[in-house]
Chain A
Amino acid sequence: MSAAAIALAAAGALQAPPPPTFAVDVEGVYVDVFVTDGNRPVVGLTASDFELRDDGARQPVELVAVESLPMNTLLVLDTSGSVAGEKLVQLQAAARALLKGLRPDDEASLVTFNQEVRVRVAPTADRTRLDRGVNGILPGGATALLDALYAGTLLAWGPGRSLLVLFTDGEDNMSWLEAEDVRRVLLQSNVLVQAVGIVPAADPTRYPNGAVRPPPEDPHARTLRQLAEVTGGQYWPAAAPGQLAGAFLAILEAMKTRYVLRFDPGRSRREGLHAVEVKLVHRKGKVHCRKAYFAGPSR
């Protein structure tokens, strides 16, 4: 990617369709929870298996049937120059597979980014439109990953269940925002981020005594993991483009085995950032969920 390529990308993009807009609505506190035992999801839990603390105060929770909650899915896909070729073909196939796996009434939208963040398809349940948007992706340009994640989070932020599936194949080299800026925003939002990255697996080395020493985590993979985990999501590495569809479908499957806890902080709730902690009671398992939520002004 060069300055000249950025200039061309800017000039070549003038024929884009009019941008869609999103509605704004903020309410309720939903905490999306994923429970694992080892690598396997734990299923069959009830509300009484969970203990939730809001700023340290225990809150009664109800378990919302996942099937009853509409899920808004936002695909935020890296379309920088490095995605061209086989990666793009596999990415498009993975995105279509994920969209196909959504429930018919679930809405989805498509945001792409290179140095610029662009809404390709506004929220819709029309799979044909979404597929067309995915098929129309043309790679080129640099990578403003953090700006795209920030924009996607604000656009997806709303009532109910919001899933943001982020894909990138490389490091950010064009964002205005810093990772810490975005981390703070994710902490406040109710958006669940699942990040998929293509990062070739490094070979493990050995300690002098012969024991296997795992390779250090790739710094970009670490950033993605940390950003996803802030929201209760995960980082899904793909060592090669051919593994993308598997990662996207695994995210979809994980969404079906998640629990959505709902609680009402009451009218006297404090505005601002609240620490939230979820534990299992009398059950074994690791709880993955967001560590905080942001309470806006009461409506």
Chain B
Amino acid sequence: MADGGRLSNPRTGPGGRRSKHLAALLLLALAAPALAQRPDALSPAYEAVVRRYQSGDREGAVAEMSGWPEHRLRDEMTALRALSQGAFACPYRCSAADRWAMTPVRAALMLHSDCAQRARAHGQSARLHESVAFELAGFMKDDPGHRAFARRWYEATSALAQGEARWGEALDWADRGLLAFPDSVDLLLVRGSIEEALAAQAAPRASEDALLDAGARESRSQLLHAQEVRGHLESARRALRSAVTTDPSRAEAHLRLGRVAWRLGEAAEARSVLVDVLARKPDPATAFLAHLFLGRLDEDEGRLDAASRSYEAALALDAHAQSARMALSHVRLRTGDAAAARREVETAVASAGRRRQPDPFWLYPWGPSVGVEDRLEALRREASS
């Protein structure tokens, strides 16, 4: 079996020696009965369902594979593990390397990913197919011919989990991906944005007001929550700093770093980073958020005129954004102009239901998960091409 023109040998990379592969395939076909007994041989039934996926019948293949019992899948994984180990152990080339190169591991990876997604959609455990997919990705990351694909799969899979608010899994998967690809900005952004969201989620438990009216036992618990919030934010900052160091051109990483610095109470750093984001002339959504976040910094520092200007700059980029309109209303109220504050709220609710695209602030908590289905679909297409 071949991965649709993406044949790869773990030692030599994709392509090359196509005629030798065909010869090897012929030899494999002749030796099939003997190979069925080998510990590194996949069963014909498994190969058939992966081929089915690869040929484009994804739905049928996923439905079929979803019915497989665990022990059969474990057997196939044992064979794949043995095959990959044999292939990677070859000094130059060998039968195991050739057979590995002919195995459509990309299709297998996406098949098991889709099976896991299907199981979740049906409220069933996705653990089995997830573990198979991760094991496959683990083999592929060591193969130069599949390494880039594996990296994109780690990025998309962790982002998918983030998009479905399965944050624990998303963090775990991002971390696994980062072990193999420590320079993946997408994985660092998944980590950073989830830690940011976890901090926001924990924040109500750590509010100062709550601390004031609570009993001693609760106060201790709230102090711990405050530490929890700080822990998440510092973890987010570490990931985001790595992201901007790895790829200084990624405006989103800078934007998030600025927001996290604000949440940590480090206003000067936050301002410097956000001003820098705007200087980079980012896309409109990122610029909108940078203006919005700068406005909040101004508001906190009592610079209400500057805050108004920042919010107005955000609204100049997206006139119907409720987030910026609410922000502007609030700052108007703080300046003592209740009538103007109310007019801004009326304008904000007037635009409700009239957006064609979400307010950028609504998408901000979801980080790199925005658009992840398109990325997964691209991987599926490549795996079955």
- 8 Å CB interface, B153-170 against A: 163-165
Q: Inside 8 A of B209's CB, which chain A residues have their CB?
A: 179-180, 183, 226
Which residues from chain B contact A271 at a C-beta distance below 8 Å? 336
Residues of A within 8 A of B348 (CB): 117, 151
Beyond A19-B350, A118-B352, A179-B204, whether A6 also contacts B358 by CB under 8 A is yes
CA distance A157 to B338 in the complex (A): 10
Whether A13 contacts B221 by the Cβ 8 Å rule is: no
Residues of B within 8 A of A118 (CB): 349, 352-353
Contacts of A222 in B (CB 8 A): 204, 210
User: Is residue A155 contacting chain B, with contact meaning CB distance below 8 A?
Assistant: yes
Beyond A24-B339, A180-B209, is A174–B352 a contact (Cβ under 8 Å)? no
> Cβ of A171 and Cβ of B204 under 8 Å apart?
yes
> Cβ of B163: which chain A residues have Cβ within 8 Å of it?
2-4
Q: Would A296 and B369 be within 8 Å (CB), given that A155-B345, A219-B210, A226-B209 are in contact?
A: no
Tell me which residues from 166 to 184 in chain A have a Cβ below 8 Å from any Cβ of chain B.
171-174, 176-177, 179-181, 183
Task: Chain B residues near A1: list those with CB within 8 A.
Answer: 165
Residue of A with least CB distance to B355: A10
Contacts of B218 in A (CB 8 A): 216-217
For B371, give the chain A residue with the smallest CB separation: A3
Q: Contact between A219 and B330 (Cβ–Cβ < 8 Å)?
A: no
- Contact with A115, one of B329, B350, B354, B359 (Cβ below 8 angstroms): B359
Q: Determine if A116 is an interface residue (Cβ-Cβ < 8 Å).
A: yes
Which residues of chain B come closer than 8 Å to A2, judged between CB atoms?
163-165, 366, 369
B356 touches A24 (CB 8 A): no
The proximity string for A residues 110-142 relative to B, scoring 1 for CB distances below 8 Å and 0 otherwise, is 010001111100000000000000000000001
Q: How many residues of A contact B (CB 8 A)?
A: 53
Q: Which of B292, B356, B373 contacts A10 (CB 8 A)?
A: B356
CA distance A150 to B327 in the complex (A): 11
B333 touches A185 (CB 8 A): yes
Q: Does A209 reach chain B (CB closer than 8 Å)?
A: no
Q: Determine the residue in chain B with the shortest Cβ distance to A116.
A: B352
Ordered nearest first, which 6 A-B pairs have the shortest CB separation?
A: A16-B353, A13-B353, A3-B366, A118-B352, A19-B350, A219-B205
Chain A residues within CB distance 8 Å of chain B? 1-4, 6-7, 9-11, 13-16, 19, 21-22, 24, 26, 111, 115-119, 142, 144, 147, 150-151, 154-155, 157, 171-174, 176-177, 179-181, 183, 185, 188, 216-217, 219-220, 222-223, 226, 271, 296
A-B contact list, 11 entries, CB within 8 Å: A4-B163, A7-B358, A14-B356, A15-B353, A115-B358, A116-B352, A171-B201, A176-B322, A180-B207, A219-B207, A226-B210
Instruction: List 13 other contacts, CB 8 Å, given A19-B352, A151-B326.
Output: A2-B366, A3-B363, A4-B163, A10-B357, A19-B349, A116-B355, A117-B349, A154-B333, A176-B322, A177-B326, A183-B209, A185-B330, A223-B207
